[in-house]
Amino acid sequence: MPPVSSATALSVIVPMYNEEEALPALVSRLRPVLDGTGVLYEVLAVDDGSTDRTAELLEKFRTDWPELRIVRLRGNSGHQAALRAGLHSSYGAYVASIDADLQDPPEKIPEMLDLARSENLDIVYGVRSDRSTDTGFKRRSAGAYYWLMRRMVGKQVPAQAGDFRLLSREAVEALKSLPDQHQVYRLLVPWLGFPSGQVTYRRGERVAGETKYPLSKMIRLAVDGITNFSAAPLRLATWLGVISFVTCFVMIAWTLVVFLLGKTVPGWSSLFVAMLFLGGVQLICVGLLGEYIGRIYTAVQRRPTYFIGYDSARGEAGESAGKKGN
Ligand code: UDP
Ligand code: MG
């Protein structure tokens, strides 16, 4: 009988999207580590609507690994939504999350658990000490991202901490109670302000397959993070307006001086540039307003960010679909 009760000491959430190539390596590395902890655990494989053989392989692995639990989302809902599905479905007294591609070492999970238990911590971050295996672009964009997020959310956001971490049940329940629609956990978790510790590790290379984070998804994560934590971009409109106003004033004064001096200037180009500038500023501001209004709209709709199609611990989860998502 798989451990699906409150006696479960540890849940390990693994969001996965089209990870058929990485899956066998993941299972053969994760299982001995978790078996070695000696605690009752569950591995929550959240299949984020994979279209390859991920689902089939998971079923196969589950036949001789009862601790493996499969939660399948009805469609590709994104990494953070998959994590959310995992957090909401988990039973463990501690809940770890780890990527499926083995870039984060599973061997660190028992270390995180020991640290949390011995020091009574609610959060243990996995912090990357070395990103030399990532591409130059990924390193630079990540550097800029964490710089911006630390300025926005506060210094408690550890630089270089992704979604490899361990949470206590209290921290999980606190996250579950938040009404935010598009949650960015690497920012929300530090924002909770629970007692926390760190475990450093070397970020390895993806064991197999391609990254499931194309630039478009990275940008969406960054925009979600910024708009969830700050209304500062809205203030940009005010500042651009002030700058335009002052510039206009100077130009009026200058035009008057030129007029009084009796020189008529054919100022078509300056007029044209000013018009384009103002048009651009207005469009940027309208776009920014649209971004926030769009978020207010989705928040008001309160639609779930994912639907669970199947949960191996509960059978066909049709009846809980939707309810689980908010
Ligand atoms: N992932 C997911 N849904 C998505 C995209 C990614 O569940 O829409 C999972 C993916 O399978 C992996 C984790 O999120 O387990 C991190 O993705 P990836 O390793 O591709 O990102 P990278 O390490 O390249 O930033
Ligand atoms: Mg990866």
Asked if 66 and 93 sit in the same domain, the reply is: yes
CA distance 176 to 326: 9
The pLDDT of residue 166: 97
From the CA of 17, the nearest ligand is 1
Asked if 145 and 172 sit in the same domain, the reply is: yes
Asked if 264 and 309 sit in the same domain, the reply is: no
From the CA of 221, the nearest ligand is 1
Kindly report the protein residue whose alpha carbon is nearest to atom 11 of ligand 1: 16
Helix-then-strand count for the chain, H and E: 10, 9
pLDDT < 70 regions, the chain: 1-6, 264-266, 268-269, 316-326
* Joined tokens for residue 66: 């009862």
Q: Residue 145: CB within 6 Å of ligand 1?
A: no
How far, in Å, are 44, 53, 134 from residue 22 at the CA level? 16, 11, 17
Asked, for residue 326, whether it belongs to a domain, the answer is no
Asked, for residue 222, whether it belongs to a domain, the answer is no
Asked if 96 and 176 sit in the same domain, the reply is: yes
Residue 20 Cα to ligand 1 middle (Å): 13
Asked, for residue 48, whether it belongs to a domain, the answer is yes
Asked, for residue 139, whether it belongs to a domain, the answer is yes
pTM of the complete model: 0.82
Asked if 189 and 237 sit in the same domain, the reply is: no
**Residues within 5 Å of ion ligand 2, judged at the Cβ atom:** 99, 101, 103
Q: Residue 128: CB within 6 Å of ligand 1?
A: no
Q: Residue 21: CB within 6 Å of ligand 1?
A: no
Asked if 125 and 254 sit in the same domain, the reply is: no
Asked if 312 and 294 sit in the same domain, the reply is: no
**In the chain, how many domains are there?**
2
Determine the atom of ligand 1 nearest the C-alpha atom of 83.
7
Asked, for residue 223, whether it belongs to a domain, the answer is no
The boundaries of the domain holding residue 296 are: 232-301
Asked, for residue 220, whether it belongs to a domain, the answer is no
Residue 20 Cα to ligand 2 middle (Å): 14
Asked, for residue 217, whether it belongs to a domain, the answer is no
CA distance 19 to 23: 6
Integer Rg of the chain from CA: 25
Determine the atom of ligand 1 nearest the C-alpha atom of 77.
8
Tokens 């083995």 found at:
102
Residue 54 Cα to ligand 1 middle (Å): 13
The pLDDT of residue 258: 81
Residue 266 Cα to ligand 2 middle (Å): 59
Asked if 141 and 247 sit in the same domain, the reply is: no
* Joined tokens for residue 125: 């971050």
CATH of the domain at 90: 3.90.550.10
Asked if 175 and 189 sit in the same domain, the reply is: yes
Q: Which residues of 253-268 are buried (b: 16+ CB within 10 A; e: fewer)?
A: eeeeeeeeeeeeeeee
* Joined tokens for residue 76: 């590709």
Asked if 282 and 308 sit in the same domain, the reply is: no
Residue 101 Cα to ligand 2 middle (Å): 5
The gap from C-alpha 130 to its chain's centroid, in whole angstroms, comes to 20
Asked if 118 and 246 sit in the same domain, the reply is: no
Asked, for residue 325, whether it belongs to a domain, the answer is no
Asked if 205 and 254 sit in the same domain, the reply is: no
